[in-house]
Amino acid sequence: MGIYLKGFTMFEPISNEYIVPFDSSFRIEGVPTAPSKELKDKKENKKKLKDLVEELEDLQRMLYAQDKFALLLIFQAMDAAGKDGTIRAVMTGINPAGVQVFSFKAPSREELDHDFLWRTTTRLPERGRIGIFNRSYYEEVLVVRVHPKFLDAQRLPYPINLEQIWVDRFESIREHEKHLARNGMVILKFWLNVSKEEQRQRFLSRIEEPEKNWKFSASDVEERSYWKDYMHAYEEALNATSRPWAPWYAIPADDKPYMRVCVAETIVNTMKSLGLKYPTVDQKARLEIEEMRTVLEGDA
């Protein structure tokens, strides 16, 4: 039974210990960045992930065949939290024809000539497909909030009130996501919650291991000096935009195998709740199928 919202029945969000409440009570200092010791079994978590990916493969085929819902997965995190690796691990074996992945970096001139939701809206998945946003329109209330100088390039038509603009953008995001949900878009948003110390260790690994040097960027280290500002921005953004039709999940990211299992479990359980099934054919089509069977069997 889905959520009834102003005339529309939508999916029921999967509630687990990492879902961000819808009442603005979320506090970053109160959520874990790592699982408890008994949940850190690397071998067991890899096995769980393998099983979940197999389930997801079957569910994705039904999603594609039924062609009614679209699934949008949004990943946000501090650098080195593991967005790329998680997307790769969870989507391993999934039919690439049914999945679209987009990474959003600094906006182009064309994108800056539109509203802040335009560039992601043009890349939304169609019905029957899974769309993945590696970063998203949430950058506009995270990175841009921490570095408001980026607003200068957006050539906004009205004077900028740095207190009000984030409130306005949160409202735009909520309404945008509600509109998408009303039209069959199932939205799941994952904040991969890595600790500052774990990020430091991962940056050091990128420096010390030659095959990881290409991942290293001095600007990533510079952004660490804004850690508190980012945490404040994340806390406000998640509180303002975690809603039943587009829930946020604050996933512990210090342990990668466990993090990937949590993400995969949330996706699989959500898709199961949609009642996906392969379409059935009507009597006319069934008769045609039987006729073709007769033709093929006589063509040996």
pTM confidence score: 0.92
- Compute the distance between CA of residue 111 and CA of residue 136 in angstroms, rounded to an integer: 13
Tell me what the mean pLDDT of segment 194-219 comes to: 90
pLDDT tens digits along 32-82: 999 998 899 999 999 999 999 999 999 999 999 999 999 999 999 999 999
The answer, yes or no, to whether residue 284 has pLDDT greater than 70, is yes
Three state DSSP letters for 11-77? CCCCCCCCECCCCCCCCHHHCCCCCCHHHCCHHHHHHHHHHHHHHHHHHHHHHHHHCCCEEEEEEEE
CB atoms within 10 A of CB 141: 24
- Compute the distance between CA of residue 150 and CA of residue 145 in angstroms, rounded to an integer: 9
Comparing 216 with 178, the larger pLDDT belongs to 178
Tell me what the mean pLDDT of segment 96-112 comes to: 95
| Pairing of the two strands 3-5 and 8-10 | antiparallel
Structural domain boundaries of the chain? 3-297
pLDDT tens digits along 135-180: 999 999 999 999 999 999 999 999 999 999 999 999 999 999 999 9
For residue 3, what pLDDT band results from cuts at 50, 70 and 90? low
Q: Beta partners for 130? A: 71, 99
| Cβ-contact 14, 227 below 8 angstroms | no
Q: What is the pLDDT of residue 215?
A: 79
Segment of 25-29, 93-97, 205-209, 284-288 carrying the highest mean pLDDT: 25-29
3-state helix, strand, coil in the chain (%, to 5): 55, 15, 35
pLDDT tens digits along 81-94: 999 999 999 999 89
Residues 6 or more apart whose Cβ sits within 8 Å of residue 121 = 176
The answer, yes or no, to whether residue 293 has pLDDT greater than 60, is yes
Q: Which CATH class is domain 3-297?
A: alpha beta
Q: What is the pLDDT of residue 4?
A: 44
Mean residue pLDDT across the chain: 93
| Cβ-contact 75, 138 below 8 angstroms | no
| Pairing of the two strands 8-10 and 130-134 | unpaired
| Cβ-contact 127, 69 below 8 angstroms | yes
- Compute the distance between CA of residue 218 and CA of residue 7 in angstroms, rounded to an integer: 50
Tell me what the mean pLDDT of segment 217-244 comes to: 95
Q: What is the pLDDT of residue 71?
A: 98
Tell me what the mean pLDDT of segment 92-99 comes to: 91
CA dist list (Å): 232 to 34, 109, 115, 126, 275:
20, 29, 24, 34, 38
